[in-house]
A and B are shown apart, each in its own frame.
Chain A
Amino acid sequence: MHNLSAKELEVAELIVNSLNLEDIRAEEIAPDAPLFRDGLGLDSIDALELSLGIKQKYGIQLRAEDENVNQIFTSLSTLTKHIQKNS
């Protein structure tokens, strides 16, 4: 188990729900582990689905043109920070 903040847990739940992840529960996602490839093993279509989930829940639009989109999607912790800053 990891010490997730309330907001991190909320975003982790969004990840698990919007991607239909079956092998992992929200509280098991390490805040600093990579979301893509080696870490949680998400792929590019997952990134798209996740961005749609974020748009729906927080009204934040993530587009490929945003130069820091790769940085935002690095880990649960970076994603949560971005959401907190923009909502």
Chain B
Amino acid sequence: MSDDWVSQKERGTPFALRLILWIAQHLGRGFARLFLYPITLYFLLIAKPQRMASQQYLNRILGRPATLSDVARHIHCFASTILDRVFLLADRSSEFEIKRHNPEEVYNLIDQGQGCLLLGAHLGSFEVLRAPAINERKLPLKILMYPNHNEQISKIFMELNPEVAETVLPLGEMDTMLRVADAVADGKAVAMLGDRAIGSEKSVDCRFLGKVAKFPAGPMLLASVLKVPVILFVGLHMGGNRYELYFEKLADRVVVDRKQRDADLQKWVQRYADRLEHYARKAPNNWFNFYDFWDKDA
């Protein structure tokens, strides 16, 4: 079940999290990064389902059997982007070299007062989009996410930057999408992640890395109802302090024929999945779905 990640018990205790946070804030990023090695090793040893999921994904994208050190690098990349959220949220973007590709895809729309949907994935860091956007006050942004996911860690991140926390529109409420409609009508950009099909949510089958996987239909359905442009975004961690933030227009309008709604939606979501694959291949270790992504029964 792909919704396992929601219920998955968070690993690491609040104390350990607080300790790492203290180290990051007082001893700096370089020093805190040293701790990523033992953390990676710990997860490599203890988190078997995640390790298997990593291996399964890496086998596909690398086109060869993944080694234990491939998996270690994958986990290390994941841990790095989580640690970096601390610095991004604390408005220390100057620690990073963030290269933005085609940001005008979004800014031009916002300047015209046109709201839009930003569609991302659990590929790389969404914080590299969000925190600088809020801290620099350049992009009116809301982000749709499930509340309480990774509860301890979200609490800590919220304390770090309450203003960024306020950008969250909680998913799962009856009026969630009405809020999105209001935000978009106000000329805001609403970001969401479109790669995890959860529970009973409507999904469509798309090819990803050569095999069919379930993707949520919600984001494209929402775009078709709102009649607004959809822009893909991914913030890839390229090692060290380097991030590459890509924007790419997926659609000016997502047009779905009511008579063949599912088939039309599938085409749009497949377009998203294809571009996701393109970016995943640029930086394979940025894929942060540590569960059986291709599970048929999900």
Chain A residues near B (Cβ < 8 Å): 20, 36, 43-45, 47-49, 51-52, 62-65, 69-70, 73
Contacts and interface: CB of A to CB of B under 8 A. Distances in A.
B178 A64 contact: yes
Contacts of A45: 177, 218, 221-222, 225
A48 B218 CA distance: 12
B175 interface: yes
B261 A44 contact: no
A47 B175 contact: yes
B258 interface: yes
Interface in B135-173: 171-173
Q: Considering residues B178, B182, B261, which has the most beta carbons from chain A within 10 angstroms of its beta carbon?
A: B178
Interface string B91-111: 000000000000000000000
A70 B218 contact: no
B179 interface: yes
B181 interface: yes
Interface in B254-269: 258, 261
Contacts of B261: 20
Contacts of A20: 258, 261
Residue among B173, B177, B182, B221 with the highest chain A CB neighbour number at 10 A: B177
A25 to B, nearest CB: 18
Given A44-B174, A45-B177, 9 more contacts: A44-B175, A44-B177, A45-B221, A47-B175, A52-B225, A63-B178, A63-B182, A65-B182, A73-B175
A65 B182 CA distance: 9
A42 B132 CA distance: 36
B25 interface: no
Given A45-B225, A52-B225, A63-B182, A70 B258 contact: no
A64 B258 contact: no
Contacts of A70: 174-175
Contact of A64 (B171, B179, B222, B226): B179
Interface in B213-239: 218, 221-222, 225-226
Q: How large is the interface on B (under 10, 10 to 19, 20 to 34, 35 or more residues)?
A: 20 to 34
Interface of B: 171-182, 201-202, 218, 221-222, 225-226, 258, 261
Closest 6 CB pairs of A and B: A48-B177, A64-B178, A64-B179, A44-B177, A44-B176, A64-B175
Contacts of B258: 20
15 contacts: A36-B174, A44-B172, A44-B173, A44-B176, A45-B218, A47-B177, A48-B178, A48-B181, A48-B226, A49-B225, A64-B175, A64-B182, A69-B175, A69-B178, A73-B175
Contacts of A49: 225
By CB atoms of chain B within 10 A, which of A36, A47, A48, A65 has the most? Answer: A48
Contacts of A52: 225
A51 B225 contact: no
A15 to B, nearest CB: 14
Nearest to B226: A48
A20 B265 CA distance: 15
A36 B173 CA distance: 10
A43 B153 CA distance: 28
Contacts of A65: 182
A47 to B, nearest CB: 6
Given A63-B182, A64-B182, A65-B182, A48 B174 contact: no
A23 B221 CA distance: 20
